[in-house]
Amino acid sequence: MPHESSPKHLKIVGPEGNTLERVLAPEGLLAVAPKLPAMRTLSLELVAFEYLEDLFRIIAAFPHLEVLCINGLLLEDSYEKRKLAFELPRSYPTADFPPLRSLNVRWGMGHGEGEFLHKLREYKTFLRLQSLVVTFSERMRQQEPYETFIPAIGELLHHISISGTFYRTPVFVPPTYARLTQSLASCRSLRSLRIGYPPFVCNLSDQLCTLLERPDAPFPQLQALSLLVPEFAGTQIVGEQFPGRLAAAMLRRERYPSFATLTVAVQAPTFLQQGAEARPEGEGDPASAEWMDDLSSMDLGGESEDEDEGGDSEQHIRKDLLAQWRAFFSAFVEVEGVSLNVTFQDHPTYE
């Protein structure tokens, strides 16, 4: 049994800037792993590895690991080194893999994500996975490995979140995004689903509704649906027909008897995205009710309401935006057993 006084959470953050400075040699972490027998959560942020098997060796070194978070991970991108690595025998760990229950992935801009997912499926203890959170970057076609990965583990998942952190170019082309959306139909045990709307993608609402409207309801145990929408795009990003179609699909009790919550998290404009660094560690999701209460009472700076020459304070702008989105999804208001939550979501969208 793990020692009760041993730390349960470990977060490693690499330096920003040159990728080579982020390369993490696994030997140091492997040496201290036996001294951390109770480790449950491992977070790797802005780190790089020379080879993918180094990452797997580190994961396997924590036998009780349940939550793995990868944010901005890179593999060292030397062509000669990659060529040599593929020519040599791969040294992936063969021992029992830890019983991961939650996988949170925001890969970097390099290669290796597909190989990572493929290799992960080979470990039997991977069959305990219940939560998958994926945040795509601006790299095109990054979602393709998940089109086969999600169906392979769909029956296991209770929670899935798919979103993006990109603002200049589209990361999904419509046909490819359609395949990713349809792959969610394999998640028959899903309790909660979170979809983040990337800018410039106009068919996402249609694809989501088409999935939810299937004659055989794909998520019969679904309790909560969350939508992350960029405020600057306005309601047109989801389309005027979306609320009606969504309500018609989700509010039929014979199809979704457990559905209880629709959350619309609005991506605040830049000038309202303040205080992200002030959120206390361990306080949960940035969009949680407690954190949003803190934001609503926060001094956002600038002139006071009385001194605001434009007549509208930032607080008024915030309230107006929330009111617009609440009105847009009014079909979910005052429905017995169903609540509509409209909140702000600050950067980053990665959970």
Angle at 187 between CA 167 and CA 104, to 5 degrees: 45
Residue type (1 letter), 23: V
Please state whether 321 falls in left (phi above 0), alpha (psi between -120 and 50) or beta: alpha
Higher pLDDT, 265 or 286: 265
Supply the pLDDT for residue 245: 95
In a domain, 307, yes or no: no
In a domain, 255, yes or no: yes
In a domain, 87, yes or no: no
- Reduce the DSSP state of residue 341 to 3 states and report it: strand
* Distance from C-alpha of 164 to C-alpha of 47, rounded to nearest angstrom: 20
In a domain, 148, yes or no: yes
**For the segment 172-192, what is each residue's pLDDT rounded down to a tens digit?**
444 456 778 889 999 999 999
- Reduce the DSSP state of residue 166 to 3 states and report it: coil
Please state whether 105 falls in left (phi above 0), alpha (psi between -120 and 50) or beta: beta
Q: Which of 142-151, 207-216, 281-290 has the highest mean pLDDT?
A: 207-216
Domain with 211, as residue range(s), is 9-77+98-167+174-272+314-345
**For the segment 307-338, what is each residue's pLDDT rounded down to a tens digit?**
454 445 777 877 888 898 999 999 999 899 99
Supply the pLDDT for residue 102: 94
Q: Is 167's pLDDT higher than 60?
A: no
In a domain, 19, yes or no: yes
Supply the pLDDT for residue 320: 85
> Percent of the chain, pLDDT > 90?
29
Closest CA to 286 of 315, 271, 266, 300: 266
- Those residues whose C-beta lies under 8 Å from the C-beta of residue 86, and which sit 6 or more positions away, are none
In a domain, 129, yes or no: yes
Supply the pLDDT for residue 295: 31
Closest CA to 136 of 110, 113, 175, 164: 164
- Which runs of consecutive H residues, i.e. helices, occur in the chain? 26-32, 52-60, 79-87, 113-120, 144-153, 174-183, 204-212, 242-250, 289-296, 314-328
Supply the pLDDT for residue 17: 58
Average pLDDT, the chain: 76
Closest CA to 159 of 102, 98, 99: 102
Supply the pLDDT for residue 282: 36
Q: Is 127's pLDDT higher than 60?
A: yes
Confidence of residue 302 (pLDDT cuts 50, 70, 90): very low
Supply the pLDDT for residue 349: 43
Burial of 257 (0-12, 13-18, 19+ CB in 10 A): middle
* CATH number, domain with residue 138: 3.80.10
In a domain, 257, yes or no: yes
- Those residues whose C-beta lies under 8 Å from the C-beta of residue 76, and which sit 6 or more positions away, are 19, 20, 23, 48, 49, 50, 51
**For the segment 6-50, what is each residue's pLDDT rounded down to a tens digit?**
789 999 887 765 555 567 778 888 888 899 988 999 999 888 888
Q: Is 280's pLDDT higher than 50?
A: no
Supply the pLDDT for residue 339: 96
Number of domains comprising the chain: 1
Is the CB of residue 109 less than 8 Å from the CB of residue 142? no
Supply the pLDDT for residue 231: 73
Higher pLDDT, 303 or 259: 259
- Token output for 291: 């954190």
